[in-house]
Structure 1
Amino acid sequence: MKTLTTVLFASDITKRISLISTLRTLGIVKLHVYNSDYNIPTPFPLLNDLDIVVCDSFSNLEEFKKFTSLLNRFDFFTVIESEKLNKALKWGIKKLLINSKKYHGGYYRDAIAEPQMFSLLNKTATLKKIQQHNNTDHKYWTTETPQYISTQNIPDSENQDTDNLVVLYRPRFNLSTNKICGMRALPFHINSDKELILLSDDSKPHDGANSNLNAFIKTFNQGIQLHRHVRNMGETLSFTYTINPASLQEKDFSANLIKQIHHSGVPFNEIILEITGAGELHIDTQTINNITTLTYYNVQLSLCDFGICSTSIQILSELPFSSLKVTPYLTKRLHHSTHYNIMKFLVSMASTLNVKLIADGVKTEQQRTNLQCLGVDIAEGDFYHKPMHADRVLSLILEIQSINQ
């Protein structure tokens, strides 16, 4: 083990001491321990090569970024993780390793056992020998696909004007309690005939990315203010915002969003970002970093229009979603046995995956009843309310509060 160069991330000082002792006992000589108490501009500047990175714990995302920088700096190394590592960071490490073609050596338990750690180190030593003899052979790397590219056909459309953007809100109802549980922010623009037109996400890749991102930013700026008013009225509601996959490739997208949410005082877990099927979802380093940051702070991710995108299952398997919104196409056809059974299957699948199922486009009492009987969690649609302005949202909440008194 003397030839293995190792970097250790362990923010917990007790675990750090224990891990150092274990690694030294097992023969690790070249051990570099990251200590966040020292502000090092370039992490581990004296390293010429790297074989192992032990990820036990990170005190914050800035420390996690030091780990990310190692991925860019070194061509090949193995990661060993604690089973108790933060869930969001686990997901981020997994996707970053796939994207950068690094190897995952395995997990160790919280109570560190020398035989288990020795087995992981021995695997790494073996892998190093293989890699040295065959630097260009990828068969020893992970077999997972490094990125996902949608095969959906993107319809052409003109750039959508966001200068005259108006945000309306559609309430969401919990089907178990029949109470409002959230608001979905819907961006509209005013056309030349003074009509409100819902902004679409089906923009051309070469001209629609900025338009979609600008629409999201303006929608979120208005929505977060209403969210604050709602909380000041004593109500706890989630607010959902539609986001195009391309926005997740924007540098500092998540960092800026987290700052804004923190400044507003709104709890992170009351924000839901609903990712549309429009455009290509590239699981690159920037996307992974953005999603890791969002989920680290408990911002919720939802998959929009589940069931109409041919690659929904693949998207679902790639990202850490907390909810699925079923397409209105299925909601309005529940009177057919086939569609009813499909929804029944989706309810079972959502339960197995531990995600909430949201039905969109509810227009009749019968649809609501069917969804409730099936066990769907949340519903929205014209049966409950049409999209409304912010002042109407506040009036509605006051009406509900007066009824419940």
Structure 2
Amino acid sequence: MRKILIVGAGQSGLQLALGLQSKGYEVTLMSNRTSDEIRAGKVMSTQCMFHTALQHERDLQLNFWESQAPRIEGLGVSVAAPDSSRAVDWVGRLDGYAQSVDQRVKMAGWMDTFAQRGGQLVIHGAAVSDLDFFSRTYDLVLVSAGKGELVQLFGRDASRSPYDAPQRALAVAYVHGMGPRPEHPEFDAVRCNLVPGVGELFVMPTLTLSGRADILFWEGVPGGPVDAFQGVKDPAEHLSLTLSLMEKFLPWEYARATNVELTDANGTLSGRYAPTVRNPIGRLPGGGAVLGVADVVVANDPITGQGSNSASKCAASYLDSILAHGEAAFDEAWMQQTFDRYWDTAQHVTKWTNAMLGVPPEHVLNLIGAAGQLPAVAHRFANGFNDPADFENFFYDPEKTNAYLAEAGAAARPA
């Protein structure tokens, strides 16, 4: 029986641990918090997961909350005009619904399941010195803890990391009492609101500790008016600031939020980080090597909502690579091949996310605008959140964009 250690109990670490466990591997999982501490702690992310990522959970029968979480059936984009009206406003229907489950609910539940199924759960914040020891006692050590000193084991890949500073200031609030969008009250959608030069506000339905809720998520351009949450420690002040910025820049979303209240005292989060791709192999002082997982090695800004999706896809890819490797040694060549296989998917997420962080070129503005008149364009753009590889076909290159819009326009005209 092969012995595998996974350090970090987030989406990727737990999904991979439970997957390996189900295949008969002897898995040890290290977490710096107990499941009870996770449930009682602060919110950790926004985690809207699209169809492919949700299917990876279903394949492992880990979709414990699917019947409870809101079904997100659309993805809408609005662009604010200078007078705070809507210059663009549309929604595309998703081919397969998305869902968001508060990671305090999911990670705690998965961790309890892993332990109940006989997995060895170690509550300990691992240091590099710990990994030096464990690399000699396990067949494979995987690092999926995306923060702290362990990340420093994995050097930055400058060729794949165009930014060396945070591109957005992030602020999250989980709320009860959000009203529906009057234009489409019959189905739930993620709403992406773009305020040129200022930032973005995302509104998404979720399942949290106290049931159905919505997430208000500001991404502010550093130094701009939405970059205002540093030093705000009081949750009520955080919500008040969130709402006042909505009222100023996005009055149509503020109109839905006049009666909201925080889901709980830990329902806010703020921070920032530089999007970074790192080398996948961490070399230890004692000569051993460890393999980085998910956002340890590919950390994108959350502007495209891909974090949990990428973590799920990475765990699924790594699981396949481990199962296919049989009894052979998990050497550095295998580690690099395993990451490269995941990067085949992840590179599309990184390219798209980094593009969305910049000032959109004219052809992208035309594409987003055209989606308001052409439902087929709205549909394709919305479903790109599930499969970002498709953006290669119609998003980056002005000639491809223009050709696609001409084709979509012709198809929409009556014969």
Q: TM-score range by the shorter chain?
A: under 0.3
| Larger relative contact order, structure 1 or 2 (CA cutoff 8 Å, min sep 6) | 2
User: Bigger radius of gyration, 1 or 2?
Assistant: 1
Provide the TM-score with structure 2 as the length reference.
0.23
Provide the TM-score with structure 1 as the length reference.
0.24
